[in-house]
Structure 1
Amino acid sequence: MSGKAKELIAQEIAGRVQNGQCIGVGTGTTVAAALEAIRHRIQKEALQLTVVPTSLQSAWTAEDIGLTVLAPTFTGRIDWSFDGADEVDSQMRLIKGRGGAMFHEKIVAEKSLHFVVIADSSKCVNRLGELHPVPIEFEPAARGIVERGLLALGGFDITLRECQFVGRSGPYYTQCGNLVFDVRFSQVPESLESEINAIPGVIENGLFLSQADELLMADDSGITSRMR
């Protein structure tokens, strides 16, 4: 997403904030830009907000700008949430999780009364999986069971995600200490999200087939909104 499009999205998100709300906050550079725009509103209007972030990165950013931060285990109501996506199809079905936070991202999305997805045209696909594999978070002890289960569901090119941090090697571990498979599927039926999660040892997967309530598409010329 271009710098101008990010700024338009950030202002749109910040403009929706209301005093006293509890908001779910995703992860990424566009989300960080939105939090900065929210900070300016807080400074001008003395708004009181509570946020439920999906990652440590977002939690630290929110704390830095003075927001009250709750863990994803928070059991109360989340008024609305916003986050990006790695892929979006014509039915507003998503692939998320390239950053490895899909477990908490899905928890926050499911708890939210309204889940807003932010994206640009580069994320739009005709078929889910066209650009990216589906990430699967799983318990390390269940690696073999999970791999066999994914093969049985039609998964292929199953790859254990590697750590991308400079100076470190070996497998990538999520915030919860789990491993991630990146898996290709030739088709993504509506049942696949739950079928993957039914494999013993799977924690969560990056298919968000029904969670999105609104899609905000941005480019340099403006923003369009689409509701489910």
Structure 2
Amino acid sequence: MSKKLKEIVGAELASRVADGEIIGVGTGTTVEVALRAIQRRVQQEGLRVSVVPTSYQSSWVCESIGLTVLSPALCSELSWGFDGADEVDEKLRLIKGRGGAMLHEKIIAAKCKKFVVIVGEDKLVKTLGEKCPIPVEVMPEALSIARTGLEKLGATSILQRECVAVERTTPYYTQSGNLVLDVTFSQIPDSLEKDINAIPGVVENGLFFGYATEVLIGADGGVRSLVP
């Protein structure tokens, strides 16, 4: 999305904030724009608003601009939340987790009464998985059994995510100390999210089915809303 569209989406999200709410917040440039718009309302109107971030990065942003940050462990339910996505289909099924934080993102999304997804028009797809793989978080000691389980589910490609250091390439690790496999399937049925998580050693995956209550889409013509 362009800077102007991000500001429009951010203003829309900020306009929905009510006094006393606890809001789940994701990670990304559009999320950051929305957080700054929310903080302006907090300062101007004296709103009492707390946020629960999904990552260290978003937590740092929230703290740096003066928003009250709460730990997910202290909140059993959130008023609502917002985050981006890597792909969205017409049924509002999502692929998330390109940043490797899908476990924490799913925990926050599950706690939200309403979960709003913000994307650019380029993230809308007819067939889920056509542009990006599904990230799967795996315990290091279960890497081989996870690969076997994913192959049995029909995976056509399984690549272990890596980090490129100055002198060498090293495995990518999540905040929880786990590995990530980027997995491609020719078809993604509704059962696949649970089927992947049933593999021993799999911690979580980037399929988010039934979480989004609304998708805000930023496009050249402005922002439009997509609901189930």
TM-score, normalized by length of structure 2? 0.96
**1:33 match:** 33
SS in structure 1 of the partner of residue 170 of structure 2: coil
Q: Does the 8 Å CA contact 1:86/1:123 hold for their aligned counterparts?
A: yes
How do residues 108-147 of structure 1 correspond to structure 2 at under 5 angstroms? Answer: 108-147=108-147
CA–CA distance in 2 between the matches of 1:25 and 1:166? Answer: 32
Where does residue 64 of structure 1 map in the other structure?
64
Q: Return the alpha-carbon distance in structure 1 between the equivalents of residues 50 and 89 of structure 2.
A: 31
Instruction: Give, in whole Å, the separation in 1 of the partners of 2:21 and 2:203.
Output: 29
Q: Distance in 1 between matches of 2:88 and 2:95?
A: 7
Q: Tell me, in whole angstroms, the C-alpha distance in 1 between the residues paired with 2:165 and 2:83.
A: 23
Once residues 119 and 110 of structure 2 are traced to their aligned partners in structure 1, the CA distance between those partners, rounded to angstroms, is: 19
Q: State the SS of the aligned residue for 2:218.
A: strand
Q: How many residues align?
A: 228
How far residue 166 of structure 1 moved from its aligned partner, in angstroms, is 6.0
After TM superposition, the structure 1 = structure 2 runs for residues 167-206 of structure 1, keeping only pairs within 5 Å, are 169-206=169-206
Which aligned pairs between 1:1-228 and structure 2 lie closer than 5 A? 1-164=1-164, 169-228=169-228
TM-score by length of 1: 0.96
Unaligned runs of 5+ in 1: none
Deviation at 1:72, TM superposition (A): 2.5
Deviates more, 1:218-227 or 1:109-118: 218-227
CA shift in 2, pair 1:163/1:72, >3 Å:
farther
Maintained 8 Å contact 1:32/1:61: yes
Aligned-partner Cα distance in 1 for 2:107–2:143:
23
Go from structure 1 to structure 2 and tell me whether the alpha carbon gap of 1:39 and 1:75 turns closer, same or farther (over 3 Å shift).
closer
Q: Give, in whole Å, the separation in 1 of the partners of 2:76 and 2:209.
A: 24
Q: Secondary structure at the match of 2:91?
A: coil
Residue 165 of structure 1: how far off its partner (Å): 6.1
The alignment's C-alpha RMSD in Å is 1.3
Contact 1:81 1:116 (C-alpha < 8 Å) held by counterparts: yes
Q: What CA deviation, in whole Å up to 9, does each residue of 1:205-226 have, x standing for no partner?
A: 0001111100111124321112
Gaps of 5+ in 2: none
- Deviation at residue 41 of structure 1 after TM alignment: 1.0
- Give the Cα–Cα distance (whole angstroms) in 1 for the partners of residues 62 and 156 of structure 2: 38
> How much has 1:73 moved relative to structure 2?
2.5
Task: Kindly indicate whether the alpha-carbon contact (under 8 Å) linking 1:101 and 1:174 is maintained by their aligned counterparts in 2.
Answer: yes
SS at match of 1:39: helix
Q: Is the 8 A contact 1:23 1:50 kept in 2?
A: yes
Amino acid paired to 2:11 = Q
Single out whichever of 90-99 and 162-171 deviates more from structure 2. Answer: 162-171
